[in-house]
A and B are shown apart, each in its own frame.
Chain A
Amino acid sequence: MARLTSVRQIWTFILGYGGSLLALGIAPAVAMRMLHDHPHASTAHAISGVLVGTLGVVPVVLLLLWMYRRSDEYERHGMLLVTGIAFALALVVMTALDYLAFTDLLPAWVWLPRWVTVTICWVISLIAVRVARGRHL
């Protein structure tokens, strides 16, 4: 039985995660361009912009659903931990960056694309779960 940690599933995950990051990186920029470049755009055009931006998160949601369906209870336990920690970290970091940018306290060199922030948070959470498991928590 091919579980989540089999080689084929790992490649599917890598491709899925790559696609998700691409969508997360491109969709908001495209949506903002659609909405920003046409401040008096029609309602249909505005709705299209909102849809493009929102649909950018669909691949990562589909990836998580796929991981949940493929995983056994041990993998699911780890996956939920990693996802939970990554989500919490990403939320804190992105909120802080947004507020800092809004108050002009954020130097330009600190700014990171969101997909980089999300990936860094995933890596940190993977390490955190690894360390926690090493201590039998």
Chain B
Amino acid sequence: MKNRLRVLRAERAWSQQELGDRLGVSRQAINAVETGKFDPSLPLAMKLARIFNQTVEQIFSLEDDA
């Protein structure tokens, strides 16, 4: 799974810690999602989508999608 989390976060100048605090998860969790080491649960993905005002599909996509 790939995602645009790092770009979206950079656009808002938020640190991983700041985004983690907003979502109620650890900085390590944000880092793991950004680097593709961990796929978030559906509730966390939806919270991310809401916080960035995007849909889940706009943030996350499958590796083999063009």
Using CB atoms and an 8 Å cutoff, list the residues of chain A in contact with chain B. 1, 3-6, 72-75, 77, 133, 136
Which of A3, A133, A136 meets B25, CB within 8 Å?
Answer: A3
Using CB atoms and an 8 Å cutoff, list the residues of chain B in contact with chain A. 20-21, 24-29, 32-33, 36-38, 40-41, 44
Shortest Cβ distance from B34 into chain A, in angstroms?
A: 11
If over half of A's interface residues share one DSSP class (helix, strand or loop), that class is named, otherwise mixed; here it is loop
Pair B25/A5 contact, Cβ less than 8 Å: no
Q: Say yes or no: A4-B26 contact (C-beta < 8 A), given A73-B44, A74-B32.
A: yes
Q: A74-B38, A136-B37 are in contact. List 10 more A-B contacts (CB 8 A).
A: A1-B21, A1-B24, A3-B20, A3-B26, A3-B29, A72-B29, A74-B26, A74-B28, A74-B40, A136-B36
Contacts of B37 in A (CB 8 A): 133, 136
Contacts of B29 in A (CB 8 A): 3, 72-75
Residue of B nearest to A137 (CB): B37
Q: Say yes or no: A75-B21 contact (C-beta < 8 A), given A133-B37, A136-B36, A136-B37.
A: no
Can you list 15 contacts pairing A with B, beta carbon distance less than 8 Å? A1-B21, A1-B24, A3-B28, A4-B26, A5-B27, A6-B26, A72-B26, A73-B29, A73-B41, A73-B44, A74-B25, A74-B28, A74-B29, A74-B40, A136-B37
A12 to B56, CA, bound (A): 36
Pair A73/B25 contact, Cβ less than 8 Å: yes
A49 to B33, CA, bound (A): 49
Pair B26/A5 contact, Cβ less than 8 Å: yes
Shortest Cβ distance from B17 into chain A, in angstroms?
A: 10
